[in-house]
Amino acid sequence: MICRKCDSEEFVLKPDAVLEQEFRGETFNVVSPVLECANCGWQTLADDQLDELGRRTSDAYREKLNLLTSAEIRALRMSLKMSQRQFADFLRIGEASVKWWEN
């Protein structure tokens, strides 16, 4: 990876970067890991970090609306000792919805 600001190839993991994210018309400050250029401080995301940022952003949105977060949904399903398929059948929804909510 090469920094787009200074062409450095040295990056360090910054586990608690605060990123401003917009989701469904709402703006949130979300804490998430990023890669930061060791030379100039420019920040970027690896693919797996992008997925994590998306999850954390949607969880911030859910928390604002007093909805269950992905971890809370997963914990509820696990406490019922149900697979995602069983939980979906129980709720009369598609299994893909449960997967989406949990991820």
What are 52-61's pLDDT values in tens digits?
Answer: 999 899 999 9
- Between CA 77 and CA 71 the distance in angstroms is 10
Give the domains, in start order, of the chain with CATH numbers: 1-67 (3.10.20.860), 68-103 (no CATH)
- Between CA 68 and CA 83 the distance in angstroms is 18
- Element containing residue 31 per DSSP (H, E): strand 26-37
Q: Which pair of structure tokens corresponds to residue 13?
A: 């993991």
Q: Which pair of structure tokens corresponds to residue 56?
A: 């954390």
Query: What pLDDT sits at residue 48?
Result: 86
| Stretch 79-83: mean pLDDT | 97
| Stretch 28-53: mean pLDDT | 93
What percent of the chain stands above pLDDT 90?
84
| Stretch 67-87: mean pLDDT | 96
Smallest CA-to-CA distance from 50 within 17, 77, 24 is with: 17
